[in-house]
Structure 1
Amino acid sequence: MAPTRRRVLALSSALAAGTLLSGCLSSSGSPASDGSENDPGTLTGTEKSNPVSTDETAIETLARGNAEFGLTLLSSLAEEYPKENQFLSPLSASVVLAMTYAGARGETRDGMANALRFPYDGEPLHAAFGETAERLETTAERADTEEKQGTPFQLTTANAIWGQEDYPWREDFLTTLRTYYDAGLHVCDFEGHADDATETINAWVADRTDGKISNLLPKTTLDARTRLVLTNAIYFRATWASTFPEANTKRRPFTALDGTESKVPMMAQSDSFPYAAVDGHRLIALPYVGDEVEMVVLLPREGTFEEFAASLSADRLATLLGEMERTDGSISLPKFSLESSLDLGATLSDLGMSRAFSPTADFSGMADTEETGENLSIDSVLQKCVIDVDENGTEAAAATAVEVGVTSAPMNPFEITVNRPFLFLIRHEPTDTVLFLGRVVDAAAGRSE
C-alpha cells in the first residue's frame, strides 16, 4: 500500500562550513557537497548571479520586514513562556522559509508573505535575500583583514537542497534557489536509505555550527516518506571591538522578571559607545571587530520590561536606534549563555500563514503534484539556537527545520548596569539586518558558573 504521507523538510542552521559524510549524492553521483572549491562533489552551475537589480532601498525594506517578523515572533513566544529566556534567528528562519515560499502558490503564498513580513514577491524578494547574503559575506571579508589576536570575526552562510531521487521537482523552483540562494540539488535515497541521509544532513549541520548543533534530525525524522530537505547555515563568531577586561568581571546581583535575585558574572568596561536614553529606556551598541556588526542591548525603564517588549516594533526600534550617539560611559553586562528549542508552527499559523499548515495548502511550485497525486503542506517549523557572550565576544548558532507533509534624551557620561531583564539583538549595521534576537529575563539561567 502506498504511503499516506510524505515529508519535505527545510532546515536552517547557523554557523560554519566543513566536510560531509556519505549518504546523499550530487546529480553527478558524487558525494553531496557544500559547494566549496576543494570539495570533489561540488555541483556545477550553482553560482549566484542575481539578475534582478537590488538597490539600497530594497535591502533596507527587506531588513525592516525581517526585524518586524523577528520581533513579532519573539513577542508571541514571550506570551507563551513569559518567564523564560528566548533566543532566535529571524534571518535564519526567514531565509529557509523564503526558499520554501518559492514553491508556494495562491492563498498559501499570500499567507506566508503576510506572516513573514515579505515586502516583495517573486524575483525582487529572492534577489534582496541574495544581495543581503553577499553583503554579509563582504563584511566578513573586510573584518578578516583586521589585525587582532586570535580569530576576530567570522560570518559565513551556506544553502543546499537534499531531494529524493527521481522526484519531479520543478526546474524553475530549483533555478530560483540555485540563482539567489546558491543552493544546488543533492540527490538522496530517502526511500531506501533514510538513516544514511539523516546522518549526512546532521553532519552538514554540525559542521556548519562548529558542533554547536548536533543531531538536529532525530533518527526517526527522515523515512521513506521524506522528499526534500532545504538547508541554510549561518555561523557567527566575533570579538568585541573593545573587549571587557576579565579582571573587571565580578559576581553581582541580577533581578529576574519574577523578582528573584541571583549573583551572576557581570562584565564591566568604560569606553565610548553609541548610546541613547529615551523616556527612561536605555540602549547601547557594542560593536564587534570591523564595526559593521554590533550587539544592541535594550534596557527598558525599570518596571516596564513586559510592556516595552510587547510594544516594540521594527519602526519603533529604528527610531530608538536613530537616537543613539557616541558617548563616553561605562557598562556592566552579564556574561550569558542561552539555548532555545522552539516549535514555531502554531505561532506562525497564528501570525497568518495557517493555510500553509492545512490540507488545502498549495506548494505545487515545488514539484509536479499532478504527476505525484500528492498535496504538500507544512507540518512543523522547529528552531534550535545557542549563544555565548563573554569578555572577548560572541558565538551564536541557529538551526531551523520546516517540515512539509503530503496529504491526500542621552546622559553624558552615562553609566548603565544591566542588572534586570533586557532585550538584545545582533545586527549588520550597513543593511540593518537583524541576525539574532533575544530576551534575557533571568541571566542566571543556563550558566554553569
Structure 2
Amino acid sequence: MTPCLRHISMETHWRRRLSESENQRAEQPDGRVFFLAMAAVSRIAFAGVGILALFCLLAFLGCAGEGQLTEDVGPTPSPTSVSQVAASPSSTPTTEPPATPTGTPRPGPAPVPTTVFVQSTPVAAVVPATPTPVPPTPTAVPTALPARDTPTATGEEIESLVAGNSAFAFDLYRALSSEDGNLFFSPYSISQALAMTYAGARSETERQMADTLRFTLPQDALHPAFNSLYLDLDSRGGGKGDNDPSAFRLNIANSLWAQYDYSFLDEFTMKIAENYGAGVIPLDFRGEPEKSRIRINEWVAGETGDRIRDLIPPGLFEDQPPALALVNAIYFNAGWTRDFTELQTPMPFHLLGGGEVAVPMMKRTDKTDYASGDGYQAVDLDYKFSDMRMTILLPDAGNFEAFESSLDDEVMGRIFEDLETRGVELTMPKFEFSSTFALADTLRTMGMPDAFDERSADFSGMDGRSCAAGDIPCLAVSKVIHKAFVLVDEEGTEAAAATAVLVFPVSAAPGPPIELTIDRPFIFLIRDKATGTILFVGRVLDPSS
C-alpha cells in the first residue's frame, strides 16, 4: 500500500474511534469540557492529514506521468552509450573519409557529444562541430586503397609474366657477375619496383623498359598479372607451423612515397594502389630530406625483419631530392624439411684463384631431388610448410666461368626437368652475407637508357608531362638502389631484399653536354666543399712519370 493510501485509511479509523468516544464521554458530565477541547484539536489534526493525503495522491499521479515520460525518452545512457550515439550511423557522421592519393584536405575533428538534461535524466545528443580543414602535411599517411584480393589475370598471362621475370633474372645475373666477390639479389623485388615505375612510362621509354625487363604483356594485362602472382605467393606466405621457430614466412610489400606538393595523375596512383597495394605517402623530400630518408628506411626495416637497414644512404636526398620513390621489400624465412648437422671441424673451401679457406660446414643424408649434366651437378632442397626450394648448382672443378656464362632461363628449365629423387649425402658450407647495388648504370647498359635521360625520359603516365616532348617540369629516373641479405645454416634459410626507384623532377631543359678532355698539364686540389678547407694541392705535368 502506498503512503498516500495509508494516510486515508488511518483517518477513517480514528474518525470511527472518535465517534465511539464522544458517545461514552457524553454520559459523563464531569469530563465533557475536557472532551470537547480534545475533539476540536483532533478535528484540526485530521484536516491536516486529509490535506497531506490529497497532496500524496497528486504526487502519486505525477510519479506515474514521470514514469511514462522516462519510458518515452529511454534509459539513462552510460558513458559507453554516449560514444555509441556519437558514432552511430543514424547520427551525424563523425568518421574521417579515407584520404585520397592526391592529398585532398582531411576533415576536421569529429562532432562533440553534448549532454542535455530532461527530468533529471541525462540524454546524449550529438551537436556537430564546425569542420576545420587540415591541409596535407609531409608526414600524413593517407589510407591506401587495398590491392585486388581476387586474381583477375589468366593462367597464360601469369605464365608469361613468370617466364619474363625469370629471363630478366638471368640477364641481370650475367650483368652483375662481372663484379668481384659473392653475389646475392632479388630479381622479383627489382622487377616489382620497376614494374610500378613502368606503369607511368610512355613512348620509347616504355618500349625500352619492356624489352629490358622482359615484359611481354601490354600494360593493362601486366599489372593485374603482377597482382595475381602476388596473391598466389601471399596465400602460401604463412599460417603453417606458426608454433615452429623455423615456420615458413614470406612477406612482400610495396610503397609509394611522393613529394607532397607535386601533382601525380589519379590514373597512375590508382593503378599502383589496385595492383601493388601501395597508397601514396606524402613526404617533404626538399624541406626535410633526412627525415624522409629515415622514414623510408624504417618502413623497409620493418617489412624485412630488420635485415635490410639504411637502404637509402645518408645525404642522397640532399644532393638530389626526388619527386617520387617507388619501393619494394621482400622477406623470406623457412626451415629445412630435415635439418643438417653442424660439423665440429671447419673444412676447406676451394677458391677460383686456386687457394682455399677453412669454413664451417654442415651435413645431412636424405632423399632429395638431384641431377647431373655436362659439367655440373644440381641438388634441390625442400623447405618445411611450403612449396619453396633452394636449388644449388655445382659446376665441375675448373668449369665455373664457362658454366656461369652459359646460364639462362632455358638452361635452368632443362636442369629442373632433369631433377629426380635420389639418396644424397650432402655437405655444404654455412654462410651469411649482404649485397648492395646501384643499378642505374647496369640497367642503362641492358637497354633502357631513356628512363634515366633528362632529355629523353617520358613518364607522362605519372604526371602528364614528358621530358622527350620538352615539357617542364618532367620526370626521369635518377637511381635504382637494391640491397639483399641471406643467411643459410643447419636449420634453414633467411633472406631479405629491398629495391628503391628514385624519380626526380627535371626543372630546366638541359643543354648539350660539355666535352672536356684533360690531355695536357693540369693543376688539382682536394677540398672540403662544406667548409671550403683545402686539404691537398698538386699539379700533373706528365701522368706517365
TM-score, normalised to structure 1's length? 0.78
Q: How has the CA–CA distance of structure 1 residues 32 and 268 changed in structure 2, closer, same or farther, with 3 Å as cutoff?
A: farther
Contact preservation (8 Å) 2:371, 2:418: yes
Identity %: 36
Q: How has the CA–CA distance of structure 1 residues 92 and 273 changed in structure 2, closer, same or farther, with 3 Å as cutoff?
A: same
The one-letter code of the counterpart of 2:362 is: M
| Partner in structure 2 of residue 391 of structure 1 | 490
| Partner in structure 2 of residue 327 of structure 1 | 422
Contact preservation (8 Å) 2:367, 2:424: yes
Contact preservation (8 Å) 1:32, 1:42: no
The one-letter code of the counterpart of 1:387 is: V
Summarize deviations over 1:206-234 as a string: whole Å, max 9, x none.
11122222222233222484211122111
Contact preservation (8 Å) 1:26, 1:43: no
Greater strand content: 1
User: 1:380 Cα deviation (Å)?
Assistant: 2.2
| Partner in structure 1 of residue 434 of structure 2 | 339
User: 1:42 Cα deviation (Å)?
Assistant: 6.5
User: 1:47 Cα deviation (Å)?
Assistant: 3.4
Q: How has the CA–CA distance of structure 1 residues 268 and 25 changed in structure 2, closer, same or farther, with 3 Å as cutoff?
A: farther
| Aligned equivalents of 1:283, 1:249: Cα separation in 2 | 26
Superposition pairs for residues 56-71 of structure 1, below 5 Å? 56-71=155-170
| Aligned equivalents of 2:473, 2:463: Cα separation in 1 | 10
Alignment partner of 1:77 out of 176, 198, 212:
176
The one-letter code of the counterpart of 2:199 is: A
TM-score, normalised to structure 2's length? 0.64
Greater RCO (Cα-Cα under 8 Å, separation 6 or more): 1
| Partner in structure 2 of residue 275 of structure 1 | 370
87-96 vs 199-208, which moves further: 199-208
Q: How has the CA–CA distance of structure 1 residues 137 and 368 changed in structure 2, closer, same or farther, with 3 Å as cutoff?
A: same
Summarize deviations over 1:169-205 as a string: whole Å, max 9, x none.
0111111101110111112222322222222111111
- The question of 1:106 aligning with 2:203 is answered yes
Q: How has the CA–CA distance of structure 1 residues 386 and 108 changed in structure 2, closer, same or farther, with 3 Å as cutoff?
A: same
- SS at the partner of 1:222? helix
- The question of 1:48 aligning with 2:148 is answered yes
User: 1:117 Cα deviation (Å)?
Assistant: 0.9
| Partner in structure 2 of residue 422 of structure 1 | none
| Aligned equivalents of 2:369, 2:440: Cα separation in 1 | 37
Q: How has the CA–CA distance of structure 1 residues 357 and 69 changed in structure 2, closer, same or farther, with 3 Å as cutoff?
A: same
Greater helix content: 2
| Partner in structure 2 of residue 97 of structure 1 | 194
Once superposed, what is the RMSD of the aligned Cα atoms? 2.4
Superposition pairs for residues 175-194 of structure 1, below 5 Å? 175-194=270-289
User: Structure 1: where are the runs of 5+ without partners?
Assistant: 1-23, 34-40, 409-449
User: 1:245 Cα deviation (Å)?
Assistant: 2.1
| Partner in structure 1 of residue 88 of structure 2 | none
Q: Which has the larger radius of gyration?
A: 2
Q: How has the CA–CA distance of structure 1 residues 356 and 145 changed in structure 2, closer, same or farther, with 3 Å as cutoff?
A: same
Alignment partner of 2:328 out of 226, 232, 253:
232
| Aligned equivalents of 2:381, 2:103: Cα separation in 1 | 42
| Partner in structure 1 of residue 184 of structure 2 | 87
User: 1:30 Cα deviation (Å)?
Assistant: 8.7
The one-letter code of the counterpart of 2:330 is: I
| Aligned equivalents of 1:25, 1:222: Cα separation in 2 | 22
| Partner in structure 2 of residue 427 of structure 1 | none
| Aligned equivalents of 1:148, 1:192: Cα separation in 2 | 46
| Aligned equivalents of 1:148, 1:46: Cα separation in 2 | 29
Number of equivalences: 372
Contact preservation (8 Å) 1:25, 1:186: no
The one-letter code of the counterpart of 2:381 is: L
Contact preservation (8 Å) 1:212, 1:397: yes
The one-letter code of the counterpart of 1:278 is: G
| Aligned equivalents of 1:206, 1:291: Cα separation in 2 | 24
User: 1:162 Cα deviation (Å)?
Assistant: 1.2
Alignment partner of 1:157 out of 225, 238, 252:
252
| Aligned equivalents of 2:400, 2:381: Cα separation in 1 | 21
Contact preservation (8 Å) 2:149, 2:231: no
155-164 vs 398-407, which moves further: 398-407
